[in-house]
Amino acid sequence: MSKLFSPYQLGDLTLRNRTVVAPMCQYSAIDGVVNDWHMVHLGRFGLGGFGLVIVEATAVSPEGRISYADLGLWNDDQIAPLRRIVDFLHSQDTAVGLQLAHAGRKASTPVGWRNGKDKETPGFQHWTPVAPSAIAHSDHVDFQIPTELDAAGIAHVIASFADATRRADAAGFDTVEVHAAHGYLLNEFLSPLANKRTDNYGGSRDNRMRLPLEVVEAVRAAWPANKPLMARISVSDNAAEGWQVEDSVVFATLLKARGVDLVDCSSGGFAEGAIKPEPLYQVAFAKAVREGASIATAAVGLIANPQDAEAILQNGEADLIALARGALDDPNWALHAQQELDAAAQNYALWPVQAGARVRDKDRALRLRGFADN
């Protein structure tokens, strides 16, 4: 058996394999509530054989949404619709995570494909974002100058993460992931590119880490001790004056000490940063954090080839393999990858029972996959 399709123990949670669907915003909710689109979008990844599916960035407060069409978990009415999705994925032996998020100064932005017609869209809202400092993400028209968070605002952020965590548990999620990446609020506090504060939450690296660590502590306290906790970080801002890999190693070490079980390693998110996307372009970040902080990591970023995914695991560069756009392109990527890696001509057990035997018979008749040489 390939390592990619061996079980993985994440805290007390056993994943059926090491494939993960990373959070992907769909910008398709009204008032933060999931609907049939989300059910079908996420459910197909359970049918597709993935070990863990992480629901998109879910705002812990209304002002924490990237757009008015984001998911949210700031009130109890949002729990039951999420539970429906969780229950279905569990029926397919797929573990389910939720990314807890606050967009910070990148909040209240339009939905790209609506072509400026957002005000005509049901559920449209517009508000002033909050951030560590009153500095816009960029001078692009979509971004506003945010309000700098005061002490009460910071306390509200921490409490909102904790409250959303309790709701995630009520919805039946197996894990939650604290979003501290991609230039959103917690990443803004970490990065000197966005954090220009002069109080205890700004200046030194220790001060800039303070709020993200306080959020993680609050989430860990609100999350059942037997359930694993994840964090997503931008390992590098990809900018000379920004957050660096060595900063992430220190941060990940502190996350581990506070009960984080795995770090999901991405990068970037600030207008000042630039990196050329190419196959496996972020794997080195997962390796650096895994080795430097002695913590489990997930690698993500244009990992399309099953052999590459297997090599990452075999080489000890990461513990899990996460796909986002690759999963959108092929929701059955995990099923196809297993057939390619394990050459299990007679084993279609990862497929849903409604499909496995039929696909096997089709492959046998057409001499595909493991039947190609028969």
Q: Which tokens sit at 44?
A: 């197909």
Q: Which two tokens stand for residue 188?
A: 């803004």
Q: Look at the chain and count its residues.
A: 374
What amino acid positions are annotated as catalytic residues? 184
Look-up of token digits 């999420």 = 82
| CA atoms of 281 and 300, how far apart (whole Å) | 9
Rg (CA), the chain: 20
Contact (CB, 8 A) for 65 and 106: no
Q: How many CB atoms neighbour CB 363 within 10 A?
A: 17
3-state secondary structure the chain: CCCCCCCEEECCEEECCCEEECCCCCCCCECCECCHHHHHHHHHHHHCCCCEEEEEEEECCHHHCCCCCCEECCCHHHHHHHHHHHHHHHHCCCEEEEEEECCHHHCCCCCHHHCCCHHHCCCCCCCCCEECCCCCCCCCCCCCCCEECCHHHHHHHHHHHHHHHHHHHHCCCCEEEEEECCCCHHHHHHCCCCCCCCCCCCCCHHHHHHHHHHHHHHHHHHCCCCCCEEEEEECCCCCCCCCCHHHHHHHHHHHHHCCCCEEEEECCCCCCCCCCCCCCCCHHHHHHHHHHHCCEEEEECCCCCHHHHHHHHHCCCCCEEEECHHHHHCCCHHHHHHHHHHCCCCCCCCCCCCCHHHHHHHHHHHCCHHHCCC
